[in-house]
Amino acid sequence: MDGAKAPAISDVWREVRARLKSEYGPAVFSAELARLRVVDNGPSAVILVAPTAFSKSWVEDHAGARIRALWASFDSARRMVEVLSDRDLATSAAPQAEEADEAEPARQDTAAHAGNVTAMPRDRSGRRSGERFTFDTFMVGPSNELAAVAAKSVINASPSPFNPAFFYGDYGVGKTHLLNAIAHSVELGGQRRKALYLTAEEFLSGFVSAMRARDTMAFKDRVRNVDVLLIDDVHFIAGKPKTEDEFLHTILALMADDRQVILASHSAPGDLPVCDPRLASLLRGGFACQMMKPDLDLRRKILDCKVAQAEKHYPDLDVPEAVRDFLAARITTSARELEGVLNNVIARTALMGRDVTLETVEEALRELAITGERKVTVDDIQRTVAQHFNVKVADIVSKRRNKAIVTPRHIAMYLAKTLTTRSLPDIGRRFGGRDHSTVIHAVKKVVTLIENDDAIAALIDQLVRELGG
């Protein structure tokens, strides 16, 4: 930290809580996030403590990555954030000490120089701890059947038939679950193979930390000394030249040894704003599989699976068939939102000693302001605007500044601000890592155009109708 005094943990947590409340809304914040408390875990780490194991799982699945990103932005000490339940905290001291004694020297070096790589609580494969993200709990339907079959085909294949394998789709369609299921199966397979799951943010922060420490070998050893490397949210690496270069050479090194690389992103390989043409060619040359939003039957299967998991924590929980049918039909946006609604229903019923009925479910939906209508996403907006102006999404999020690209980019930013609940910094990140001030400028520019140009006003109105906003 160059001698600078680290901010107080309570001050950082206050800032993070305020942002979480703004981004997730008062209802979800009060039900799921307000009950977290922060515990000092030494100079390089903090622990967020959830009251129950169920609450811990919800936080990890729905807010874990965002909490860590916010914490990193407010905390100059770059402390790692771990989420535990009260029960975990009470029993974690001894097992952690044992694991530290057993850790390999190379792994210890990695923790010292690239600690941000493993910010989430994980087992030794790097995947999320617990058994929630396995193929047993990955429900399959027409929207993800090819992805499931392809994922299973690479687990024990040597050499792999698909390398790299690239899964893409909107947020909440199951990409993270699928990658963790692959890691779980590889580790438990009979071939003694090693898998490592990382988010792109963890790959990026670990690489940056290693460069600052002037010791990148420990980082390289960790990400390249595996049989299967899985990187989630690859779009966060695109557009960062130095990280792209390391990412490219990591993939090439693994593929040269017939080791498997599996990637996931919300954008197709050809739509990523990649700077390095070699990396762009490599990503496009692999197997790409789109994962779509679940249909009604698959949503019902997912809901049944989530209810079964919840019943392990709440043995008296009873979710009637009529309620399950209602939720599966009503929540059409994503499996993640479906699970979020179920969690909120449980919080308002099982925790309060009330029965789960259609009336209590509708009450929860009203409090969450969920209507079941299609939610417009930034990805939807970028694709729609790109199609209208006959440009690529990659152009809109690129650094290019010619008028043919700038105008669609400004309009897409304006629509993202007016039709979604995303924050300005988040919108900026989704447009090639731009600052929030750039989004503000774009919004003001389009507002002026709407006021002074009837053609632009009509175009915006048309795009809003197409997006269903």
pLDDT of residue 97: 36
Nearest to 180 by CA among 167, 165, 204, 196: 196
pLDDT band at 6 (very low <50, low <70, confident <90, very high): low
Place of tokens 């270069």: 245
Are 427 and 413 in contact by the 8 Å Cβ rule? The answer is: yes
Number of domains present in the structure of the chain:
4
Report how far residue 317's alpha carbon sits from residue 319's, in angstroms, rounded to the nearest whole number: 7
Residues 268 and 314 placed together within one structural domain of the fold = no
Residue 162 in tokens: 């698909």
Q: Of 318, 337, 367, which residue constitutes the final position of a domain?
A: 367
Nearest to 78 by CA among 249, 209, 262: 209
Q: What is the DSSP string of 62-97?
A: HHHHHHHHHHHHH-TT--EEEEEEHHHHHH-HHHHH
Report how far residue 154's alpha carbon sits from residue 191's, in angstroms, rounded to the nearest whole number: 13
Q: Is residue 127 part of a domain?
A: no
Looking at 126-273, list the stretches that DSSP marks H as alpha helix, in order from N- to C-terminal side.
145-153, 175-188, 200-212, 217-224, 241-256
pLDDT band at 179 (very low <50, low <70, confident <90, very high): very high
Mean pLDDT throughout 194-207? Answer: 85
Percent of the chain with pLDDT over 90: 8
pLDDT of residue 117: 34
Residues 283 and 302 placed together within one structural domain of the fold = no
Residue 71 in tokens: 């914490």
Number of H helices, E strands in the chain: 22, 8
Residues 84 and 181 placed together within one structural domain of the fold = no
pLDDT of residue 219: 83
Strand 287-290 to 45-50 pairing: unpaired
R_g over Cα of the chain: 22
Residues 251 and 303 placed together within one structural domain of the fold = no
Q: Is residue 321 part of a domain?
A: yes
Q: Is residue 242 part of a domain?
A: yes
Residues spanned by the domain of 194: 135-290
pLDDT of 188 over the 60 cut = yes
Count CB-CB contacts under 10 A for residue 124: 14
Query: Does residue 13 or residue 340 have the better pLDDT?
Result: 13
Cα distances from 179 to residues 145, 175, 185, 195, 414, in angstroms, run 15, 6, 10, 10, 33
pLDDT of 237 over the 80 cut = yes
Residues 76 and 58 placed together within one structural domain of the fold = yes
pLDDT per position as a tens digit, 97-151: 333 333 333 333 333 333 333 333 344 444 444 456 888 889 898 888 999 999 8
Strand 37-40 to 45-50 pairing: antiparallel
Looking at 239-334, list the stretches that DSSP marks H as alpha helix, in order from N- to C-terminal side.
241-256, 277-284, 296-313, 321-330
Q: Is residue 183 part of a domain?
A: yes
Please name the helix (run of DSSP H) or strand (run of DSSP E) that holds residue 388, with its range, or none. helix 378-389
Residues marked as binding for ATP?
Answer: 172, 174-176
Q: Is the overall model pTM greater than 0.75, yes or no?
A: no
156-165, 230-239, 266-275, 401-410: least confidently modelled range: 156-165
Residues 186 and 276 placed together within one structural domain of the fold = yes
Residues 177 and 257 placed together within one structural domain of the fold = yes
Residues 413 and 434 placed together within one structural domain of the fold = yes
pLDDT band at 293 (very low <50, low <70, confident <90, very high): confident
Mean pLDDT throughout 259-273? Answer: 89
pLDDT of 263 over the 90 cut = yes
pLDDT of residue 4: 53
Residues marked as binding?
Answer: 172, 174-176
SS3 content of the chain, % helix, strand, coil (to 5): 60, 10, 30
Average pLDDT value for the chain: 79
pLDDT of residue 191: 67
pLDDT of 239 over the 70 cut = yes
Please report, for the domain that includes residue 237, its CATH number. Answer: 3.40.50.300
Residues 392 and 458 placed together within one structural domain of the fold = yes
pLDDT per position as a tens digit, 420-451: 777 888 888 889 888 888 888 988 888 888 87
pLDDT per position as a tens digit, 46-96: 888 888 777 787 788 778 878 887 888 788 777 788 888 877 776 654 434
Report how far residue 466's alpha carbon sits from residue 450's, in angstroms, rounded to the nearest whole number: 18
pLDDT band at 153 (very low <50, low <70, confident <90, very high): confident
Nearest to 228 by CA among 203, 262, 198, 253: 262
Query: Does residue 461 or residue 168 have the better pLDDT?
Result: 168
